[in-house]
Amino acid sequence: MVAIVLARSARRFLLGVAFTNAGVLGLGGLEISSSQAQTAPSTLPPVTIDVPKNQKPRRAAAPAARSHARSTAVANSRSRGTGSEPSASNVAAQGVKPNPGSDSLQPLGGQFAEPTITHPVNQSITVIEHNQIEQTSPAGLLDVLATVPGVSIARAGGIGGQIYLRGFSSNSFRSPLYVDGDRFRGRNTLQLNYFSPEEIDRVEVVRGPASVIYGSEALTGLVNIVTKEPTGDPSGPFRFTGGGWSAGYGSSAKSLSTYDWVQGAGGGFDFLGGFAGRWGGDYQTPLGRAQNSDYNAIGGSLKLGYTPALGQRWELTLRDYDEVDGRAGGVGGAPGAPYLIVRQDPNRTQLARLSYKGDLDGPVQHVEASVYANNYDTYLRTINNTINASGVATKTVTSTSHVIGPWETGGRFQGEIPWAQPGFGVAKTTFGFDGFHEDRPGSEQYSETVNRNASGVVTSVVDSPNQKAGPGSRQSDVGAFVLHEWTPVAPLTLSAGGRFDWFNTNVDTSPVPASVLPALIGHSDVDNTAPTGSVGFVYRAVPMLDLLADVATSFREPTNSELYAVSATTVPNPTLQPERGVTYEGGFRFHLPEATVKVTGFDSRYDNFLQTVPVTFNGLAGFTESQNVGKAEVSGVELEERWQATPTINFFNTFTALRGTNTLTNTPLPFLAPFRGRVGLQYADLDGSYSVLMVVDWATSKNRIDPSQEFQTSGYAIPKVYATLQLGKLISPQLGDTKLILGVENIFNTAYVDASTFANVAYPQTLTNPLLEVGRNFTAKLQHTF
């Protein structure tokens, strides 16, 4: 496909001469134009600064629609062209709407959407828009993220699991989750469960280190969920501006889903309220039922916005989510039933967030600020069976842990200063600070142990009363950052950033076993600091080709548990240092109005990796401790391409190659998919009455493994077909905007396992160890918007 696109665009190569002489300077969203300038296509996030004589540069104001403008401005700027390039109006006339974003009936277009999350211009980011989510009716966020290059999934149940981002699991706090730009921390094994796909406007995945802007844990990248915003004009009288409902079904788990919402605006205010529900039984694999993979999840949210003046917006978000689900395998659930049965019953989160966005008249021309509070509460029930060769459970330990909290509070402030000086080009400085405080009160636990003889007859029952299972702990962080982007000459953009973080972690000394108490004395309150930095550039070789490179450092502060894990066999280690990494990246972006290709190659090297190792404590063996003993290297190539071949036909493709090695032991890193990708074709009817999407997800076999940690996995190619039908056009106009979304997944009912799914090699390989993916699944969703 790349060769075809290059051939078709050869006639446009002469634009490079025009570009060199044009009076257009682009920098990470900065553009300065003169009356003779012509706008060249660019993948850089645009912020236009017109500089008439004797006038100070000022940011263009369209704040009320700011988030929409950010997501569409690049598509519009790329559609503008010179010479033989099609204009935006010509493209629209052909039936192609670049990056429609919200409608699965429209063509995908030739460009990728730009992210809203703050980032260096040269960083590799993938945006999954609402239209892409809508047309596949995914059961959960895990299935949405599985489509991103550099990301693989580690399923644990029907909606639960983790992701591996450039080789490392989100379970290990190395790729944090953000919601609307704020950190969502506190439940690393459960954080992806909390979101219904219908309430998400877009998902932004930053690939590569993001510590310079976002601090600890953004070692390999991060995920930012952008939830839906109210629409409507708040300046007029109040009125309801719309709403809708949906009802979905999936055959594999006999699952049901619904999302119901309403919105309004007026009197300076706007609001959006929604309710989401998902219910599913154990899903079917080609080898049988995945026991304990069921789920029951309900939640609701409210966004209330206030616009006191043009360019100023306050927003209050409230959210409550409650779920019950099982871990059939994978992280925290391997090897699965009947050996291990784990359930969250219930698992709850409550969130409150107050944010502000505004355009100003001074040197700082745009600011964003937010404060938030998240509270978590989980009852975790675990049944552990010891089974003999005859299949008899000789011992059953049932334990219930009440994981209280953590209670998270935090906030963020960010400002932007655009610069323009004759003879020095243009620039933008982004600066800010953020912080959080995490309070973990410590869990409570009770258990029952049932012992049986070889025939299964109960011989004894031992109850342990409810008691506090560990001490409370707290962690706080304050970080400050600055990112400067500068275009000294037209084709070149330079980027440099830095950040400094201060951490404090402390722990109670009760309840603590007497054997490990000496390790805490004098070390129950520790401080750490961590500086990070990045440098990079974008060079526009010709108007349709950008070359990119950067070097960035990253870090991860040890968590409360890693510093102060305490039990009868666990020794705390308050002297742990942050994990650190450095990543070298390079690549290119080839972009035309009808096609885009993005290729990134990288090499990441990590030091001070935390591992749990056996130790001798006070002369006694049998203890474990977290220590900075690991070193690792991950390298790879990521590709994304999209081609609007005709007004109705779109081809798209992703590809990822990864190789990871523990450089101390010279063994492969576990649960890392070596080669994987997605190939697809979309047909969207010109009048918007229907669209069809055909996809094949594939991966090669994985035989470069450490047998002490994982099983070998086989390759696979899984075809899927989806269709979106606009019933208001196909059946009757009286149905309005009513869509029927149909799908068939895993058409040939192939039994396969994602290479990133965790396995417990101490047990035999079964359909839950590692956990098999879902078998053939028929999906249907009816969705009405009014």
pLDDT in tens, 753-765: 999 999 999 999 9
The average confidence (pLDDT) of the chain is 86
The answer to whether residues 265 and 285 touch, using CB atoms and an 8 Å cutoff, is no
For residue 628, what is the enclosing H or E element?
strand 620-644
The residues pairing with 355 across neighbouring beta strands, listed in sequence order, are 315, 370
What is the largest distance, in Å, between two alpha-carbon atoms of the chain?
93
Domain of residue 346: give its range.
221-785
**Is residue 286 assigned to a domain?**
yes
At residue 271, the pLDDT reads 97
At residue 519, the pLDDT reads 81
**Is residue 722 assigned to a domain?**
yes
The answer to whether residues 592 and 542 touch, using CB atoms and an 8 Å cutoff, is no
Let me know if 415 is exposed, middle or buried by CB neighbors in 10 A (0-12, 13-18, 19+). middle
**Is residue 656 assigned to a domain?**
yes
Report the alpha-carbon distance of residue 775 to residue 285 in Å, rounded: 4
Q: What is the mean pLDDT of residues 115-124?
A: 91
Report the alpha-carbon distance of residue 37 to residue 24 in Å, rounded: 6
DSSP state of 360: -
**Is residue 12 assigned to a domain?**
no
Provide the token pair at 482: 């600055």
Q: Is the pLDDT confidence value at 93 over 70? A: no
Per DSSP (E only), the strands in 337-457 are: 340-359, 366-387, 393-421, 425-440, 444-452
**Is residue 171 assigned to a domain?**
no
DSSP state of 594: T
| Percentage of the chain modeled with pLDDT above 70 | 87
The string of pLDDT tens digits covering residues 153-179 is 999 999 999 999 998 888 888 999 999
**Is residue 192 assigned to a domain?**
no
Alpha helix stretches (DSSP H) within 239-379: none
At residue 102, the pLDDT reads 64
Report the alpha-carbon distance of residue 670 to residue 175 in Å, rounded: 17
* Length, in residues, of the chain: 786
Cα 169 to its chain centre, rounded Å, is 12
Report the alpha-carbon distance of residue 597 to residue 591 in Å, rounded: 6
Report the alpha-carbon distance of residue 423 to residue 425 in Å, rounded: 6
The string of pLDDT tens digits covering residues 360-419 is 999 999 999 999 999 999 999 999 999 999 999 999 999 999 999 999 999 999 999 999
Which is nearest to 419 in space by CA: 19, 21, 22, 25?
25
Report the alpha-carbon distance of residue 76 to residue 19 in Å, rounded: 18
Mapped onto helix, strand or coil, the DSSP state of residue 351 is strand
Show Cβ contacts of residue 415 under 8 Å, excluding neighbours closer than 6 positions. 364, 366, 367, 368, 430, 431, 432
Task: Determine how many CB atoms are found less than 10 A away from the CB of residue 242.
Answer: 16
At residue 442, the pLDDT reads 84
**Is residue 204 assigned to a domain?**
no
Which is nearest to 334 in space by CA: 574, 162, 167?
162
The string of pLDDT tens digits covering residues 310-324 is 999 999 999 999 999
Report the alpha-carbon distance of residue 517 to residue 251 in Å, rounded: 54
The residues pairing with 270 across neighbouring beta strands, listed in sequence order, are 265, 305
Q: What is the mean pLDDT of residues 300-319?
A: 96
Binned at pLDDT 50, 70 and 90, residue 307 comes out as very high
For 95-104, 121-130, 418-427, which range has the lowest pLDDT when averaged over its residues?
95-104
**Is residue 400 assigned to a domain?**
yes
DSSP string of 445-486? EEEEEEEE-TTS-EEEEEEEEEEE-S--EEEEEEEEEEEEEE
Report the alpha-carbon distance of residue 234 to residue 201 in Å, rounded: 20
At residue 101, the pLDDT reads 54
Using only the alpha carbons of the chain, give its radius of gyration. 27
Report the alpha-carbon distance of residue 146 to residue 749 in Å, rounded: 19
Binned at pLDDT 50, 70 and 90, residue 128 comes out as very high
**What's 575's domain CATH number?**
2.40.170.20
Terminal-residue alpha carbon distance, the chain: 40
Q: What is the mean pLDDT of residues 668-693?
A: 95
The answer to whether residues 19 and 40 touch, using CB atoms and an 8 Å cutoff, is yes
Q: How many helices (H) and strands (E) does the chain have?
A: 10, 38
At residue 92, the pLDDT reads 31
**The three-state (H, E, C) secondary structure of 129-164, written as one string:** EHHHHHCCCCCCHHHHHCCCCCEEEEECCCCCEEEE
DSSP state of 194: G
Q: Is the pLDDT confidence value at 506 over 60? A: yes
Binned at pLDDT 50, 70 and 90, residue 570 comes out as confident
For 325-359, give one letter per residue: b (16+ CB within 10 A) or e: bbbbbbbbbbbbbebbbbbbeebbbbbebebebbb
pTM over 0.75: yes
Q: What is the mean pLDDT of residues 489-517?
A: 92
The answer to whether residues 658 and 634 touch, using CB atoms and an 8 Å cutoff, is yes
Question: Is 82 or 476 the better-scoring residue by pLDDT?
Answer: 476
Which is nearest to 156 in space by CA: 297, 283, 287?
283
Q: Is the pLDDT confidence value at 561 over 90? A: no
Mapped onto helix, strand or coil, the DSSP state of residue 685 is coil
For residue 495, what is the enclosing H or E element?
strand 492-507
* Residue with the two structure tokens 């779920």: 323
Per DSSP (E only), the strands in 130-254 are: 151-155, 161-165, 168-169, 177-179, 182-183, 200-207, 221-227, 239-250
At residue 455, the pLDDT reads 93
Binned at pLDDT 50, 70 and 90, residue 42 comes out as very low
Domain count, the chain: 1
Which is nearest to 43 in space by CA: 460, 642, 634?
642
Q: What is the mean pLDDT of residues 681-691?
A: 95
